[in-house]
A = this chain, B = another copy of it.
Amino acid sequence: MGITERKEREKEHRKEEILDAAQKLFFEKGLTTATMDEIAEAAELSKGTLYLYYKSKEDMYLAVMMRGMEVLYKIYEPIVSSNDTSVQKLAKFGDTYKNFFHSHRSFFRMFHFLQAPQFHKQVSEEMRQACSVESRKMWDLMIGLLRRGMEEGAFRSDLNPVEVAIILWSSATALLLRVDSEGDTWKERMNIDLEHALEISNKLLFESILTDRVRAEFAGLNRG
């Protein structure tokens, strides 16, 4: 009989329902301001029940964040699988990240959590592991793209593809975080458009990793 299986499904379903409620509140209020009581109420369950499904508030937060990582992965994956050239793919990577920032701002903000070690106290080892696996998928996409581009002679092969991936990803993330938190300030006080700064940053880094041959083509395209 399939009772065990049905129960298993229902349990998974309940877990997702709880996460829906958590997502709603984390999006609205952020990690610290949203309370477990509020999430419980939104999920139409008691607080105790939440802890049958997630070990801590932080674990729950990361579970929501992983949804965001999956969203981003599903956007990126087809870019890598497409028939574009490596150069085109990398350009799309940059645009896509910016689009994701705009269309999924709340998820993007959550990514920031990973880099704030002071709040990881309550994160379970399992969740840490799961996040690590999920983020590894993203890195592999990008590193693979760069590695193939180097083999094809599009990108400079004297650079380490992993290092380049980290450089591109980190600088884009840092600038988008700044857009998010300080964008208006820079605009008002210095008349600076941080998104334009991001474009310049991407352009500078992008061009500096192209091989001379491809850079010449690229410049030709930009002029024509």
Known: A112-B115, A119-B32, A205-B205. A174 touches B163 (CB 8 A): no
**Closest residue on chain B to residue A136 by CB atoms:** B189
Q: Does A130 contact B (CB under 8 A)?
A: no
- Pick the interface stretch among A64-72, A78-86, A190-198: A190-198
Q: How far is the CA of A5 from the CA of B158 in the complex (A)?
A: 65
Q: How far is the CA of A119 from the CA of B33 in the complex (A)?
A: 9
Contacts of A200 in B (CB 8 A): 159-160, 163-164, 167
- Of residues 199 through 216 on chain A, the ones whose CB sits less than 8 Å from some CB of chain B are 200-201, 204-205, 207-209
Q: How far is the CA of A186 from the CA of B162 in the complex (A)?
A: 10
**Contact: B112 with A116, CB < 8 Å?**
yes
Q: Does A96 contact B (CB under 8 A)?
A: no
Q: How far is the CA of A189 from the CA of B159 in the complex (A)?
A: 19
* Binary flags per residue of A158-174, CB closer than 8 Å to B gives 1, else 0: 01101110110011011
Q: How far is the CA of A175 from the CA of B196 in the complex (A)?
A: 21
- Of residues 1 through 43 on chain A, the ones whose CB sits less than 8 Å from some CB of chain B are 30-33
Contacts of A166 in B (CB 8 A): 175, 178, 186, 192, 194, 197
Contacts of A31 in B (CB 8 A): 118
Q: How far is the CA of A181 from the CA of B200 in the complex (A)?
A: 27
* Binary flags per residue of A111-137, CB closer than 8 Å to B gives 1, else 0: 010011111010000000000000000
**Closest residue on chain B to residue A192 by CB atoms:** B162
**Closest residue on chain B to residue A208 by CB atoms:** B204
- Closest-CB distance, A7 to chain B (whole angstroms): 37
- Closest-CB distance, A60 to chain B (whole angstroms): 15
Given contacts A170-B174, A201-B205, A208-B208, 13 further A-B contacts (CB under 8 A): A32-B118, A32-B119, A33-B118, A115-B181, A159-B200, A160-B200, A163-B192, A163-B196, A163-B200, A164-B200, A170-B178, A171-B171, A205-B208
Would you give 8 A-B contacts (Cβ < 8 Å), ordered by A?
Answer: A115-B177, A160-B197, A166-B194, A167-B197, A167-B200, A170-B174, A171-B201, A204-B205
Which 10 residue pairs are nearest across A and B when measured between Cβ atoms? A174-B174, A171-B171, A170-B174, A30-B118, A163-B197, A204-B208, A167-B201, A208-B208, A117-B181, A162-B192
